[in-house]
Amino acid sequence: MADFDLGDGVRKVLLAGIGALATGYEKGSAIVDDLVKKGELTVEQGKSLNTELKRKVGEALVNDANKDAAKADAVPAEEPAADAADDSNKD
C-alpha cells in the first residue's frame, strides 16, 4: 500500500469521468440524429400517404357522381298519380 499514490488515483477517476461524459455525449448525439432521421422519414411518408388518400377520395367521389348520374339517366322520373290528387279532394 505504500506504493499507492492518492493523486494518481484521483487523476484516473477524473479521466474516467471525462471519458464517460464524452462517450455519453457521442451516443446521445447519435441517438438524437437517428430520431431526427426517423422523424423526417415519417413526415415524408405521411405526406405521400396524405396525397394518395386525397387521390383515392377524389376518385371515389367522381365514381359516385358518375353512378348517380347513370342512375338518374336510367330511371325515368315518376309523375304523381292523378288518383292521389283525387283522394285528397274527397275530404
pLDDT digits over 41-64, tens only? 888 888 888 899 999 998 888 888
Average per-residue pLDDT for the chain: 80
Query: pLDDT tier at 73 (50, 70, 90 boundaries)?
Result: confident
Query: pLDDT tier at 19 (50, 70, 90 boundaries)?
Result: very high
Domain that holds residue 60: 42-66
Q: Which CA distances in Å does 62 have to 28, 55, 56, 57, 68?
A: 51, 11, 10, 9, 10
Residue 6 lies in a domain: no
Distance between CA 13 and CA 5 in Å, rounded?
13
Residue 56 lies in a domain: yes
Residue 30 clears pLDDT 90, i.e. is over it: yes
Q: What is the pTM of this model?
A: 0.46
- Count: domains in the chain: 1
Residue 51 lies in a domain: yes
C-alpha of 85 from chain center: 58
